[in-house]
Amino acid sequence: MNITVKFFSSLMEYLPRSVEGNAMAVQVDPGTSPRQILARYRVPDEEVRTVMRNGVFLPEEDRDQPLEEGDVLTVWPSIQGG
């Protein structure tokens, strides 16, 4: 299935060199989970703080649930506001 993966801020360094900007379209096996995606790009657990699926916050305990066709997975290190 096809999904979009976006890494922001300091996690951009885990994007493959060929990727321009923050987002990449990837093909993965049906049933792949967010945690598997993070492992695939070797993003260390401790650097991941906020994960969103289609813009909706994904709590730690839900990161093993399978993604679906067309999903957008977005990952940040620490974020803050003002």
Partner 1 sequence: MSWTKKILRVNLTNGEVAEEPLNMDWAAQYIGQRGLGTRYLVEETDPTCDALGADNKLIFATGPLTGTAVSTGGRYSVICKSPLTGAVACSNSGGFFGAELKSAGWDMIIFEGKAGSPVRLHIENEKAEIIPADDLWGKTVWETDKLIHAAVQDPQVRVAAVGRSAEAGCLYSAIINDLHRAAGRSGVGTVMASKNLKAVSVRGTRGVGNIKDPVRFMKSVAEQKQVLAENAVTGQGLPALGTQVLMNVINEVGALPTHNMRDVQFEGANNISGEAMLEARESDGKPNLTTNAACFGCTIACGRISTIDKGHFTVENKPEYWGNSGGLEYEAAWALGAATGVDDLDTLTYANFVCNEDGMDPISFGATVGAAMDLFDLGAITTEDTGGMDLSFGSSEALAWCVEKVAAGEGFGKEIGMGSKKLCEKYGHPGLSMSVKGQEFPAYDPRGIQGMGLTYATSNRGACHLRSYTVASEILGIPEKTDPLETEGKAGLVKAFQDATAAVDSMGLCVFTTFAWSLDNMAPQMDAACDGEWTVERLVEAGERVWNLERDYNMKAGLTGADDNLPARLLKEAAKTGPAEGKVCGLDEMLPEYYSLRGWTPDGQVTRETRQKFSLPA
Candidates 17, 30, 45, 57; binder of partner 1 (CB under 8 A) is 57
Give the whole-angstrom CA distance, residue 73 versus residue 52. 6
- Between the CA of residue 76 and those of 29, 30, 31, 48, 50, what are the distances in Å? 23, 24, 22, 6, 5
Residue span 13-42 as binding mask against partner 1, x where in contact by CB under 8 A, dash where not: --------xx--------------------
Does residue 9 belong to the site contacting partner 1 (CB under 8 A)? yes
Look at the chain and count its residues.
82
Chain positions contacting partner 1, by CB under 8 A = 6, 8-10, 12, 21-22, 49-50, 52, 54-57, 59, 72, 74, 76-82
